[in-house]
Each structure stands twice: as C-alpha cells, then as structure tokens.
C-alpha cells in the first residue's frame, strides 16, 4: 500500500444538510482576552504539534475559544491593527469562521468577538471525514476575493493560501500548548460549504481545521 493510500484510507461521511442549532444563538459573542502568560514555551509546543482525528465532543470553554481565535488572526499590535498571522500588504483577506453547534460565526479580529452569520449546526458540512460533525469546533478559512483586487492576479491565490496556512499553524501551535487536538483539512466541498456558511459570491472557503479536546483513548495514550 502506498503512502497516499494510507493517508486516504478513511471513508467519507455521507452528505447531510445542516442540523438545527443547539442551544442559544446570540448575535454576538464577546470573547475573553487571551492570557499572555499561559501555555508552553514555543519550542515545546513545536515538539508536541501533531494532527489527530479523534476528538471528545465536550464543548470548548469561552477562554479557550477566545485564545485560539486570537492566536489564529487576532490583533497583536493595537496601534497599527497588526495581526498574529502575516498578510501580504495587510489586505487581511482571509476571514476565520467558527462553526459551532449553536451557529456559524465570523471572527471579528478588531473587536475580538464572534458575529453570527447563520443559526445552524453546519459542522458536518465542513469536510468529508466522519469526525467533523462530532468535534466541538470546525474553523473555516475563507478568502474574501474583493479585498485583493489591487494585487496582481498571478499572486492572489498563492498569497491567500500562505495567509490561511499561517493562521492554521498558529492554531495548531496553540492547541499543542493547551493540550487540545486539531487537524488541518483541505478535503472540502467548496460549493456545499459556501452555501452552509451563507457566503457571498466573492468569498471562497479554502481550508478547514477541526479542534477539540482529545478523545479518551488519545488522552490515555498521552498519559
């Protein structure tokens, strides 16, 4: 069996419609500011970074959600609006969507909050794998193509992909530091996901990332 066959050996989950949102669906979720003194040293987090596909369904705490979204693309230089992830010419064309059991939210980095986009549970539409609908959070990285019209056309896709990749790695390192599991996923149905997230025609989802507490079996292996 080849390495490619090993990587794609799991079966895709059947396509399903978004489920009804679970619990309250506020229009805005104000996020706690991250604790800058928390977590592991960078080199330790790099040593622990890995991908997992086994998650607990336990919801993430508000402080955890706030910290990982800030890590993804939060404002780390308030005077200039600079972000934790690089963006060519500071176009900041990649938005982070948090797909939760109680709704689809867009991360508003400048206000460090989540803004409701669609009141449904669309986690199972963020990818083909069977675990995406059970983990508590699926992040989706969405390119707003209207923000890069001043960029040479030949560079747009590459630069946007680099920005999304940097965000996903920021989240991966945060997860390693906080003892969470995560996996970055590029196997998505772009049209189906766009509809589930109620995106506009100039918005394109290019990457997804599942986040959650490690499953019990994974925790026992870690112990």
As a whole number of angstroms, the distance between CA 18 and CA 20 comes to 7
pLDDT averaged over the chain?
89
Q: What is the pLDDT of residue 15?
A: 56
Q: Give the SS3 label for residue 95.
A: strand
DSSP 219: H
> Residue 193 domain-assigned?
yes
Q: What is the pLDDT of residue 144?
A: 96
Interhelix angle 62-73/153-178, nearest 10 degrees: 140
CATH code: domain of residue 185: 3.40.109.10
pLDDT greater than 90 at residue 12: no
| pLDDT band at residue 16 using 50, 70 and 90 as cut-offs | low
**Which residue in this structure is represented by tokens 């309250």?**
24
> Residue 21 domain-assigned?
no
> Residue 20 domain-assigned?
no
> Residue 30 domain-assigned?
no
| pLDDT band at residue 8 using 50, 70 and 90 as cut-offs | very low
| Structural domain total, the chain | 1
Contacts 24+ apart (CB under 8 A), 33-40: 33/66, 33/70, 33/112, 34/66, 34/67, 34/70, 34/71, 34/74, 35/63, 35/67, 38/67, 38/177, 38/178, 39/174, 39/177, 39/178, 40/176, 40/177
Q: What is the pLDDT of residue 221?
A: 45
> Residue 33 domain-assigned?
no
> Residue 90 domain-assigned?
yes
As a whole number of angstroms, the distance between CA 204 and CA 217 comes to 35
> Residue 73 domain-assigned?
yes
153 lies in which domain range? 52-222
As a whole number of angstroms, the distance between CA 53 and CA 153 comes to 36
Q: List pLDDT tens digits, range 103-143.
A: 999 999 999 999 999 899 999 999 988 888 889 999 999 99
Determine the distance from the C-alpha atom of residue 53 to the mean position of all C-alpha atoms in its chain, rounded to a whole number: 15
As a whole number of angstroms, the distance between CA 93 and CA 146 comes to 8
- Which two three-digit tokens encode residue 178? 């906080």
Q: List pLDDT tens digits, range 162-212.
A: 999 999 999 999 999 999 999 999 989 999 999 999 999 999 999 999 999
Cβ-Cβ contacts under 8 Å for 181 (sequence gap 6 or more) = 52, 54, 55, 175, 211, 212, 213, 214, 215, 218
| pLDDT band at residue 60 using 50, 70 and 90 as cut-offs | very high
> Residue 12 domain-assigned?
no
Q: What is the mean pLDDT of residues 155-162?
A: 94
- Percent of the chain at pLDDT exceeding 90: 78
């Amino acid at each position: 069996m080849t390495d490619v066959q090993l990587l794609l050996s799991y079966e895709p989950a059947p396509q399903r419609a978004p489920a009804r949102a679970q619990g309250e669906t506020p229009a805005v979720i104000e996020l706690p500011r991250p604790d800058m003194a928390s977590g592991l040293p960078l080199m330790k987090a790099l040593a622990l970074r890995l991908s997992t596909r086994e998650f607990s369904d336990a919801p993430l705490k508000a402080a955890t959600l706030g910290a990982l979204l800030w890590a993804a693309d939060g404002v780390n230089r308030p005077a200039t609006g600079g972000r934790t992830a690089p963006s060519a010419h500071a176009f900041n064309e990649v938005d982070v969507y948090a797909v939760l059991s109680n709704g689809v939210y867009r991360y508003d980095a400048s206000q460090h909050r989540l803004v409701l986009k669609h009141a449904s549970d669309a986690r199972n539409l963020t990818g083909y794998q069977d675990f995406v609908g059970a983990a508590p959070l699926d992040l989706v990285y969405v390119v707003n193509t209207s923000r890069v019209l001043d960029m040479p056309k030949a560079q747009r896709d590459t630069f946007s992909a680099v920005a999304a990749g940097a965000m996903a790695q920021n989240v991966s390192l945060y997860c390693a530091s906080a003892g969470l599991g995560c996996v970055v996923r590029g196997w998505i149905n772009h049209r189906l996901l766009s509809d589930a997230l109620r995106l506009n025609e100039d918005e394109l989802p290019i990457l997804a990332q599942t986040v959650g507490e490690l499953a019990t079996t994974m925790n026992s292996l870690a112990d």
